[in-house]
Chains A and B, each alone.
Chain A
Amino acid sequence: MTLAELRGARRRREDGEAHAGGLHATTADYIRVAVALFIITSIEVAIYYIEGLRGVLVELFLALSGLKFLLVVLWYMHLRFDSRLFSFMFAFGLSMAIALFIAMLATMKAGLL
Chain B
Amino acid sequence: MSLFIWGLIIIFAGGLASLISGRRSGLACVFGALGAVAGSIAAVIPAFKVLLHGITESFRLNWSIPFGSFFVQVDPLSAVFLIPILGLSAIAAIYGVGYLWAYRGKKNLGVAWFFYDLLLLGMVLVVAAKNGILFLLAWELMSLAPFFLIIFDDEKEKARDAGWTYLVATHIGMVFLLIFFLILGGQNGSMDFDKIGVIDGLTASFLFVLAIVGFGTKAGFMPLHVWLPEAHPAAPSHASAVMSGVMIKIGIYGLIRAMTFLGHPPIWWAWILIGIGASSGVVGVLFALAQHDLKRLLAYHSVENIGIITLGLGIGVLGISTGSPTLAVFGFAGCFFHIINHAIFKGLLFLGAGAVLHGSGTLEIDHLGGLIKRMPWTAVTFLTGAIAISGLPPLNGFASEFLIYLGVFKDGMSHGLVNIIPVLGVIGGLALIGGLAAACFTKAFGIVFLGQPRSKHSQQAHEVNFAMLLPMVTLAILCVLMGVFSPFIIRVFRAAISNVTLLPQEVVQGQLNAGSSILSNVVIVSVLLVALICGLALLRKWLLSGRSVEQIETWGCGYACPTARMQYTASSFAQPLVALFRLFLQTDSRDLPPKGIFPDRAFLKTDTADTSSKYLYQPLFKWIGFMLSKLQWIQHGRLQLYVLYIALTLLMLLIWKAL
Do A and B bind? Answer: no
Q: Interface on A for B, CB 8 Å cutoff?
A: none
Q: Interface on B for A, CB 8 Å cutoff?
A: none
